[in-house]
Each structure stands twice: as structure tokens, then as C-alpha cells.
Structure 1
């Protein structure tokens, strides 16, 4: 896409969407923004704040979505289809359901527009720095046309094929990370309860095969009982529920998934809604390593 072409609109200015928007502004793209939260909209004085979602959908050549999940994406795209999407491209940065993304791709295509799945890996820090990794699927021709926009907010884009492929890979990737966090919570709690110095355990893992950046990021949070927000526990549960649907569609057992999802549900039932590493809190309470957190 050439910078002289029509404006880009971005719907959703949360922790990820706001970073994407700032990078596009910094790199010279004409940007219109919309979020249900007026406080989120007010942070973007350099962008044109749409007066209404319809205003953004009608005036933008490219529409970037950074929303919580498929229901919100379907609502926004549905409204776009009512208003008309001929000649427009919708790029969905959200973590969505593959079957939903395939349906939206077909509906937008039939209406004369284009739809790309563009889910990302990374966290809000990567979004702010413009170093996200973007997984792309859909029409390769459309991907090529919008590559400059994608490169403006990422350090790497990976085209993975037909509609549904990017969202499937994104969910599979999140599944691994979310279950890793549950594993870390469980074993670090047990190690602490035995009286072994958890710092020694972390040092050994750091020099062993299971070491990885996620372990280095999450283990200190759990050991120190400080759960700084990076990825929300409720979003983690949503993603696991989406993955559960994939298993069911493929008629595959999901034993590990079910165990992990149950642990996150226990944490959510206690009213926890911060970082997903808070999944350790109920385990620590059971172990007597932390004062009980009453259910809300």
C-alpha cells in the first residue's frame, strides 16, 4: 500500500491495538481510530478520531481490527458489510476462531472486499516497539499489497496459506504458551513447598533443555508472588476455550487442555483477572505458601 492512498482505520485501542496504532502514526500513515472507550480514543490526538464506528468503516480503505475475540470481530465486520466493503480490505489482528475467520473471508470477498487474517505473537511491549510477529493467511496478492503496513508494526511477517490457517496456528501457539505457564505454576509451587530454594531450581532449568524465554519471564513472577500484567488470565481462558473447539471439531481427545483449562477456571472463580501467571495463586494457597484469596 502506498502512503498516498486512502486512510487506514483501526478498531480497538487496547494494549495491543494502541501500540499498533502508534507505530503506524510514527511511520507516516494516515490513521483513523475508534474504540468504545472514549479514554482510549483521547490518547490519539495525532490521529483522526472517528465520530462513530460507522464513520471509520465508511471512510477507511484498510480496516485493522484488534479486538478481544470472534464475537466482537463478527459484529464489526457485519456492520461493515451492511455499509459496504467494496474496494476495502479488513485485516484481523485479533485472536479469532478459524471457522469464523473463514466465513468472514468468504462474505467480505463476495461483497467485493478483501479479508486477511493477521493475528500476532508478542505482547504489548512488542506492539509498542513495532516488533510483533504477524501470521498471515488469505489471498497472497492482498498480503503483498498490504505488506508495507504489516512491516510497519512488526519485525517479521509469515504467510501461512489459505483462510483459517493463520488463526489455527495462532491458537496452537497460544495453547502452548498458556499451558506452559500452568506447568510452571504447578511445579514451582511444589518445589517451594518441599523447602528447596526455587532460585536454585530456576538456575538449573536455565542451563537445561526446558529453558526458554517464557520460563525466564514467568518463573520470577510466580516465585516472587508479583504478577505484573502481560497477558490477561481471562483472555487465556478464552483462547483455551477456542482451542477446545478445535479439538472437538477434529474429534481429538484434549486431556492436557482440559486439565489446564480447569486450573485457570479455578483461578477465575476466585475473582482473579490480572496476568495469566496468577493461575499460581490457588496452588500457592493450597500449599500454604500464600494467604487464602477469598472468592469474589
Structure 2
């Protein structure tokens, strides 16, 4: 039986940890808000008191945290991962962070005698629940091979992209594109509505053509009903756009469309929609 730790039980992490349990794995969990561990414990998980305790007791620990600041706090903070890692145990950070943060965490883990893999995911709440995430791993290849049974319980497509940083870069690129798609989609629905076109007809035409996508099909119907329950919170999309623009700055790559999209999502946060789904951008535009 495989034994894994799991740190971070938000919208994504709780679903991912449940899939590890469903796959028959032993799972030790920790979350900053302890009450979020209760569902997992009821399903058979063991609760640890600190991230260090998770890392010390499990051959491989996964983490799914909100942003670079949270990822650094869990690693470097008091009773953090670095206090428990060592003896070749593995740390797999599945959070979406910038490449520099991922490399900083990876270097520190290795310096303590552990092994490190970054493995950000493409997909939101439903794929996390269904175990159909796309997992973008990079780093220690032996750890990748050993973590694969756990990764396969959480994802449908798992890639190893090379050295630490490449997984983070891939995730940032993918989410930058997704944010731009959502912004254009919301503007199209709003413009069509002002012109007197039925939303159902707009969605029907989009679905029949070259720009059809699962995201438009899923989010279009929810937007039409005014449902913005968070599968991927708007504040997290804005964070990912900010990371993309930062990557563009470092590489000298102009990102005019992404910069404009980032300003739209910043407006969504300012309007109070940060904790709603990223499709709540429509409320700002309409």
C-alpha cells in the first residue's frame, strides 16, 4: 500500500486527497484551518499537527497551496516542510507558483537531504474531483517515478517536463491563455446581449465552430444562469496572470493581451468578486 502526505485542503486539494484515499493509499493530511481535515479523516486519513510532521512520517508528501506566499510559508515557516524532510523523502509541490519560487523551495528541500518535484496542475474543481487533472511535473526523475501511483490517482495526463521551473512555466502559460479566453468570452456574451442576441444562440454558434471549447460549454450555461460558484476563484486567475506578466518581463516577451486581461481581473477583485469563480468577470463587463 502506498503512503502519501497531503498538505493544503482547499477546493482542489481536498478533492485530490480524496482520490488518493479512493485509490487505496494511506494518506496523512494537514491544513492551516484544521476543520478542513475532518472530511478526509472521516474517510480514513490521518491528521498531522504540522507540515513537518507530515514530511517526517511519509515517504512522499504532496502540497496544493494557494499562491507563492503560502507555498513558501509551508516550506520555510515554523514547523514547515524543511523541519521534517530528509533521508531521501520526497516533496511534490502541486501549487501554481512562479519558477523562481519553485526553484527556491526545491533547492532548500534538496539541501536538507530530501528530493523535490514540482507538479502544478491544469484543471479546476470538477477534474480534481474526477481525477482527470493534467499534471505538469518537473524535477527529480526518481521521485517522479515513485510518485506516479499517486499522480495517476489524481490526473489523466502526467508529463515530466525537465528541470524544476519548467512545470511552473507551462502552467503559467496555460492559465494565461485561459484567462484571455475567458475575458474575450465574457465580452462577447455582453456585446451579444446588448445587441439583442439570445445567449443560448451565441453559445450554440460558438459550440459549432472552430473556437468551441469545453470551458466555453461549461461556463457559458452557468454564466447565463448567473451561477458563479468557485471552481477556480477569480483571485487565483489574477494571480496567475500576474505571474505570467512577471515571466514575460524576465524573458523580454511582450504580453499586451495578457496585461490587458490582468487589468480586467484586477478590476474583478476590486469589485469584490475575488472569491467567486473566475467567470464572474462577466459581472464586471456586462
Q: Same fold (TM over 0.5)?
A: yes
Larger radius of gyration: 1
Aligned to 1:59: 57
Count, aligned residues: 280
2:62 touches 2:93 (CA, 8 Å); kept in 1? yes
Match of 1:16 among 12, 21, 30: 12
Match of 1:48 among 46, 49, 53: 46
SS in 2 for 1:246: helix
Deviations 1:187-237 (CA, angstroms, capped at 9, x unpaired): 110111011223222222211111111111122233333223221011111
SS in 2 for 1:238: helix
CA distance in 1, matches of 2:239, 2:92: 21
SS in 1 for 2:6: strand
TM-score normalised over the length of structure 1: 0.90
Aligned to 2:158: 157
Alignment of 1:167-246 (within 5 A): 167-246=168-247
Aligned to 2:281: 279
1:124 touches 1:230 (CA, 8 Å); kept in 2? yes
Deviation at 1:18, TM superposition (A): 0.8
Deviations 1:234-292 (CA, angstroms, capped at 9, x unpaired): 111111111111011112222111111111111211111301111111221xxxxxxxx
CA distance in 2, matches of 1:122, 1:282: 24
Matched, 1:86 2:82: no
Deviation at 1:27, TM superposition (A): 1.7
Aligned to 1:145: 146
Give the ranges of 4+ consecutive aligned residues of structure 1 lying more than 6 Å apart after TM superposition.
none
Q: Name the Cα RMSD after superposition.
A: 1.6
Unaligned runs of 5+ in 2: none
CA distance in 2, matches of 1:220, 1:193: 18
Deviations 1:144-191 (CA, angstroms, capped at 9, x unpaired): 122112112222211111111111001111111111111111111011
1:221 touches 1:228 (CA, 8 Å); kept in 2? no
CA distance in 2, matches of 1:24, 1:193: 47
Deviation at 1:84, TM superposition (A): 4.2
Note closer, same or farther for the CA distance 1:174–1:83 as it changes in structure 2 (3 Å cut). same
TM-score normalised over the length of structure 2: 0.93
CA distance in 2, matches of 1:67, 1:84: 18
Unaligned runs of 5+ in 1: 285-296
SS in 2 for 1:158: strand
Deviation at 1:64, TM superposition (A): 0.7
Note closer, same or farther for the CA distance 1:167–1:181 as it changes in structure 2 (3 Å cut). same
